[in-house]
Structure 1
Amino acid sequence: MYSGQGTILAGTGGSQPATPSPFNICTEDKEILMKRSLLIAATATVLSLGIAAGPAMAQAASSPSSGTVDQAKALKKQADADYKAAKKACNAMKGDAEKQCEKDAKATHEKAEADAKAMKEKAEADKKAMK
């Protein structure tokens, strides 16, 4: 019987060759595969969040100052939720990838907050002008 270590186990009579099995993966290799899988999943999550948020962000970017105070509050709340989700996805990453992910998430959040603030100020000014 083959032990996976390149040796022949007792009781096999030495009839089975000591060739490595492709199904025997050492613990270190399993860890590496798991980390890579986790990194790929985290990256896919971040990208899908960016793609899904793309049209909404494009609309907000094209007209950040047109809307009501309630819409501005909703935009701010959505920006906070998106930032929280993006930071959570960044936590699965390590090293420079994590730092860059957090930097991008923060920049996106700050832009969305600025857009929400501009929308609120414009709505309040429009409301005041209509009185």
Structure 2
Amino acid sequence: MLLHIIARGKIARSPEEELVERYVKRIAWPVKLTELPETGGRIPEPQTPSRLVLLDEKGQNCGSEDFARILERWRDDGIRECRFLIGAADGHSEQDRSAADLLLSYGKATWPHLLARAMLAEQLFRATSILAGHPYHRAG
């Protein structure tokens, strides 16, 4: 299953970008990164059966193992792409929220977009490691 991170804003060369790249390179599943402008720009349409996850402060606070099981279930149900949308500074619209298959939160705190991207990349690596039976999850 393709893990597709779609983020508003450019990450540019930064410590956060290096952290995102470090985790993305370690994920055994295919990963695609798409950057959109802060405003405007179109979210690419999925070409295969997909699920949409919005990182949203109003979302579900999901543990790593539960998150891994969600991805596993979608993968085993034939979903070919899981799209993770990180919104702009003003968050997501109600229309986007209602269209999502999962609203995912990293707690009640508001996180800078660059850190949210790094946190998502790490959680994707952790989830795929859990599903592969890799000891990273227990060592981390």
TM above 0.5, yes or no, is: no
TM-score, normalization by structure 1: 0.29
Higher share in strand: 2
Higher share in helix: 1
Greater radius of gyration (CA): 1
Higher relative contact order (CA 8 A, sep 6+): 2
TM-score, normalization by structure 2: 0.28
